[in-house]
Amino acid sequence: MEKIVKIIGAGLAGSEAAYYLAKKGYKVKLYDIKPNAYTPAHKNPNFGELVCSNSLKSNDVYGNACGLLKEEMRILGSMVIDVADSCSVPAGAALAVDRDKFAQEITDRLRSFDNIEFISENVERVNLDENVIIATGPLTTSELCNFISEITGSGFYFYDAAAPIISGDSIDFSNAFISDRYGEIGKGDYVNCPIDKEGYLAFYKELISAKRAPLHEFENVKVFEGCMPVEVMASRGEDTLRFGPLKPAGLTDPKTGRWPYACMQLRKEDEEGRRYNIVGFQTNLLFPEQKRVFSMFPALKNAEFLRYGVMHRNTYINAPTVLNSDFSMKEHPTVFFAGQITGVEGYVESTASGLLSAINMDRKLSGKESLKLDQTTVIGALSCYVATTNADFQPMNANFGIISPIEYNPRKKAEKKQLMANRALQKIKEIKEIL
């Protein structure tokens, strides 16, 4: 008898899970509201759409936990990371992608399977006795949210924000320069837009007083620190942005030979440089206010905004009360959750949970025990995090703080991280052999 797995949601986690299970020979029914409907944050009809940044963060395997997680996933055969590598655009040490090519390639790879059935439907409930992976992401539709609240006894949220994208040919390069941080002028992946003290103070004043889009649903707005709107960050103090997204350190302005007072960075959205993302400028300002305030930077005085920043509600469950570390439900063992709805935060982390839920669905349906991962790997540490009792459960990014410490503790942080990374990669290679 053919084994069927239903996957609800074709974002990063759902797409990763569908690909893995289809390769294993399962009949996969992949449900998504696209292209018949869209959430307020989605525009692209393809699967795996990146709503916020086009960056999947650092590629540094030995110095950054997200970089290490990506390498773990490469070893485990992640389709999404493979696509990201093939659609990458220059971004220094980060892995950034052309988001349109990225979503198209994910969609093409999924559609190449004869055993994946694509169903455009707003799923409102699921049969808890079937093989199901719920990967509807942080923008789960209200009907399914209500059902999930019923079966989990909880529903949580925070607000997330996206940065604007501007046209590359509208940047005034006479007031900008190309360089990575501490890099050679004229070489690098970032366009730097300096501003002097007088200009910065005027910008700051306008930013903190600019009109914001209303958020009607809740009075107590919870914002995730990793995607904090720039205006919220600025409200913490006049110099906060100069130690954050406008940090000038290592960016020598060729006009002055010095670091500027503050400096905005732009990162390519595509290889040709037609579109640029304003790095770290997630925002909830009204659209006209974004153009007015952000254009105060000399390099952006004539900027054409191709997409304005937006803020949207992200939903996640109280995972430790309802999920096992393999991402299956404690009370419904053939129902799995994957993606940001589980309480992992970030593109790569969400994809990793989709991969792990698919691996464990396969093992469960094959009569094998779930993959037991400890905290010596990043993917294992994340799975342990979502299943560990926590009175104040909040979304979690990949970081070295959730990984088990090593027995030998060197003084230098870099050496410590390298040892932890080597241990993790060795463990993942051992896991790969049994899959």
Whole-number pLDDT of residue 220: 46
- Pairing assessment for the beta strands 335-337 and 132-134 based on DSSP bridges: parallel
Q: Are 142 and 175 in a shared domain?
A: no
Q: Are 20 and 132 in a shared domain?
A: yes
Residue 261's SS3 state is coil
Q: Are 132 and 30 in a shared domain?
A: yes
Query: Which phi-psi region, left, alpha or beta, contains residue 153 (left: φ > 0; alpha: ψ -120 to 50)?
Result: left
Burial of 155 (0-12, 13-18, 19+ CB in 10 A): middle
Q: What span, in angstroms and rounded, lies between the C-alpha atoms of 234 and 242?
A: 9
Please give the single-letter amino acid code of residue 222: K
Q: Are 76 and 218 in a shared domain?
A: no
Query: Which phi-psi region, left, alpha or beta, contains residue 182 (left: φ > 0; alpha: ψ -120 to 50)?
Result: left
Q: Are 271 and 299 in a shared domain?
A: yes
Looking up residue 421, the CATH number of its domain turns out to be 3.50.50.60
Looking up residue 281, the CATH number of its domain turns out to be 2.40.30
Cβ count near 372 (within 10 Å): 10
For residue 393, the enclosing domain spans 4-156+317-434
Q: Are 292 and 386 in a shared domain?
A: no
What the block records as the tokens of 299 is 């390099």
DSSP assignment, residue 368?
P
Q: What span, in angstroms and rounded, lies between the C-alpha atoms of 283 and 309?
A: 5
Q: Are 123 and 17 in a shared domain?
A: yes
Q: Are 344 and 202 in a shared domain?
A: no
Q: Of 275, 309, 343, at which residue does a domain stop?
A: 309
Contacts of 339 by beta carbon, 8 Å cutoff, 6+ apart = 9, 11, 12, 13, 14, 135, 136, 137, 138, 350, 353, 354
Q: Are 288 and 354 in a shared domain?
A: no
Whole-number pLDDT of residue 215: 64
Which residue's entry shows tokens 């107590």? 220
What the block records as the tokens of 410 is 């060197």
Q: What span, in angstroms and rounded, lies between the C-alpha atoms of 279 and 55?
A: 10
Tens digit of pLDDT at every position of the chain (435 positions): 679 999 999 999 999 999 999 999 999 999 999 888 777 667 788 999 998 788 999 999 999 999 999 999 999 999 999 999 999 999 988 999 999 999 999 999 999 999 999 999 999 999 999 999 999 987 788 889 889 989 998 767 777 778 898 989 899 999 999 999 999 888 888 999 999 999 999 999 999 999 998 764 433 455 555 678 899 999 999 999 999 999 999 999 999 999 999 999 999 988 888 889 999 999 989 999 999 999 999 999 999 998 888 787 778 899 999 999 999 999 999 999 999 999 898 899 999 999 999 999 999 999 999 998 999 999 999 999 999 988 778 788 898 888 988 887 787 888 989 999 999 999 999 999 988
Q: Are 344 and 299 in a shared domain?
A: no
Interior angle at CA 62, CA 61 and CA 67, nearest 5: 30
Structural contact between residues 255 and 196, judged by C-beta atoms closer than 8 angstroms? no
Q: Are 325 and 219 in a shared domain?
A: no
Q: Are 250 and 322 in a shared domain?
A: no
Query: Which ranges of 244-377 does DSSP label H, i.e. alpha helix?
Result: 287-294, 319-322, 347-365
Q: Of 309, 325, 352, at which residue does a domain stop?
A: 309
Task: Tell me how many domains the chain contains.
Answer: 2
Whole-number pLDDT of residue 223: 59
Q: Of 309, 331, 358, at which residue does a domain stop?
A: 309
Q: What span, in angstroms and rounded, lies between the C-alpha atoms of 310 and 39?
A: 12
Query: Which ranges of 24-136 does DSSP label H, i.e. alpha helix?
Result: 65-75, 79-86, 99-111
Residue length, the chain?
435
Whole-number pLDDT of residue 252: 96
